[in-house]
Amino acid sequence: PLEAGMTFTIEPSVFWPGRVGVRVEDVIVCTPDGGVKLNEHPTDLVANE
């Protein structure tokens, strides 16, 4: 079970074999009231060819 003070990451990934891969990582800390995201960054995927 998750407990207050624990931290973990959520790391969704997208890969195009032989071309490119992208991973966006969010760091989450558990609090008595729920999870809190510790980092802020854009999550838009922009492809440049």
For the chain, the residue count is: 49
The Cα–Cα gap between 29 and 36 comes to 5
Determine contact, residues 15/23, Cβ cutoff 8 Å: no
Q: 38 with 12: CB under 8 angstroms?
A: no
The reported pLDDT for the residue numbered 39 is: 92
Residue ranges of the domains in the chain?
A: 7-37
What pLDDT was estimated at residue 17?
94
Residue 4, pLDDT score: 97
pLDDT, tens digit (0-9, with 9 covering 90-100), for 7-48: 999 999 999 999 989 888 999 999 999 999 999 887 777 777
- The residue written with tokens 């510790």 in the block is 38
Q: What is the pLDDT of residue 47?
A: 74
Residues 6+ apart with CB under 8 A from 9: 25, 26, 27, 28
